[in-house]
Amino acid sequence: MAIDLSTTIAGVRFPSCFMNAAGALCVTEEELRGLGLSRAGAIVTKSMTIEPRFGNPEPRYYAFPGGSINSMGLPNLGYAAYAKLIPTLKEFGKPVIASVAGLCEPDFVKIATVVNERRPDLIEVNLSCPNIPGKPQIGYDAEDSERVLDQVRGVITVPMGVKLPPYFDPAHHEKMARVIERVGVEFLSLINSVGNGLVVDPERESVAIKPKGGFGGLGGAMIKPVALANVRAFWKLFQGRIPIIGVGGIVNGTDAFEHLLCGASAVQIGTVLVEEGTRAFERLEQELSAVLSRKGYTSPAACRGKLKEL
Ligand code: DHB
């Protein structure tokens, strides 16, 4: 029996708990429409900047058996184009999440203000792009993060979420949790790519991608334990009060189930979506349904956060 995989985040209902991760197949109008036509439970836009951008020089994405590395450099149509598209995208009958980036603090506010007027269902503030030369990830600075989130919260009327980079120390989870609490963030997307990894091709004695001397964000299967740890850490810190979208290393239905057990209410897919295309959504739905049925769970919510500790 197929299980109802719908889920609710910040009062918004998603027909499926699987959606694209910002960046994956969501830059152009055609790609965004493709998500609308697919089984994706939402349409998440590419992180948008003020100006349209071509991004970093190619090759800037490389997939290998354990995952992927990218340094795209925020190629996107610019916020005005995405703002204009939002009403059309909403006609697909699933939530539209606008991913807002910015190259400096005032950009976030300007983009959020204009995009909010087009009523996306939610806004995901991206504090964790690792690939712009000379721009550190805002999410690694709690004070900067708080300032940006406070300002964005002040200008938007739809639920605000934040996409965070992975943290590797409980003190950092705790510090960011206090920021999230104070600002009133309504959902968390955890995690962005594991920034500034390096993939080497020993045959060619070369880096795999061109920008930043080969350094880039890691995604795919290899980052799953890092993603699960961050989902779990924030789930525990908020005792489940702030919904979490799990991102990182979801390749099959069991990976999604693990994210739910750690506390995710929904999941986003990046590398596997780029590698497999939108038919990945059907496969993942079938696989997660099968796992939930086998385990006697009737919905994603039924197993949310239920991870056992020894
Ligand atoms: C890019 C990568 C990211 O991980 C991100 O959050 C935003 C942008 C990029 O390189 O385009």
17 tagged catalytic? no
Atom of ligand 1 nearest to the CA of 74: 11
What pLDDT shows up at residue 133?
83
Pocket test residue of 28, 46, 49, 74 for ligand 1, highest count of atoms within 8 A of CB:
74
Alpha-carbon gap, residue 11 to 122, rounded angstroms: 10
Assess if residue 89 is contained within a domain. Answer: yes
Whether 2 is in a domain gets the answer: no
In a domain, 201, yes or no: no
Q: Specify the CATH number for the domain of residue 135.
A: 3.20.20.70
Q: What is the pLDDT of residues 80-122, one digit of tens each?
A: 999 999 999 999 999 999 999 999 999 999 999 999 999 999 9
Helix 224-237 and helix 170-183, axial crossing angle in degrees, nearest 10: 50
For a mutational test of ligand 1's pocket, the pick from 108, 129, 218, i.e. the residue with the most ligand atoms closer than 8 A to its C-beta, is: 129
Q: Is the pLDDT of residue 1 over 70?
A: no
Q: Does residue 282 fall inside a structural domain? A: yes
Taking only the tens place, the pLDDT of each residue in 180-215 is: 999 999 999 999 999 999 999 999 999 999 999 999
Digit-coded pLDDT (tens) for 250-304: 999 999 999 999 999 999 999 999 999 999 999 999 999 999 999 999 999 999 9
Domain tally for the chain? 1
**pLDDT-derived band of residue 157, with 50, 70 and 90 as boundaries?**
very high
Q: Is 148 exposed, middle or buried (0-12, 13-18, 19+ CB in 10 A)?
A: buried
298 DSSP assignment: S
Which residue puts its alpha carbon closest to atom 7 of ligand 1? Answer: 129
End-to-end CA distance of the chain: 32
| 67 occurs within a structural domain | no
Which residue CA neighbors atom 11 of ligand 1 most closely?
A: 74
Residue ranges of alpha helices (H) inside 78-127 are 79-90, 105-117
Q: Which two tokens stand for residue 58?
A: 């190619």
How far apart are alpha carbons 157 and 42 in whole angstroms?
Answer: 19
Query: Is there a domain that residue 208 lies in?
Result: no
Q: Confirm whether 126 is domain-assigned.
A: yes
The pTM (predicted TM-score) of the whole model is 0.98
For residue 31, is pLDDT > 70? Answer: yes
Residue range of the domain that includes 51: 7-55+75-196+221-303
Tell the residue nearest (CA) to atom 6 of ligand 1.
129
| 232's tokens | 């779990």
Q: Cα-flanking dihedrals φ and ψ of residue 156, to 5°?
A: -115, 160
Residue 137 included in any domain: yes
Atom of ligand 1 nearest to the CA of 193: 4
Query: What lines the ligand 1 site, CB under 6 Å?
Result: 23, 47, 55, 71-74, 101, 126, 128-131, 192-193, 217
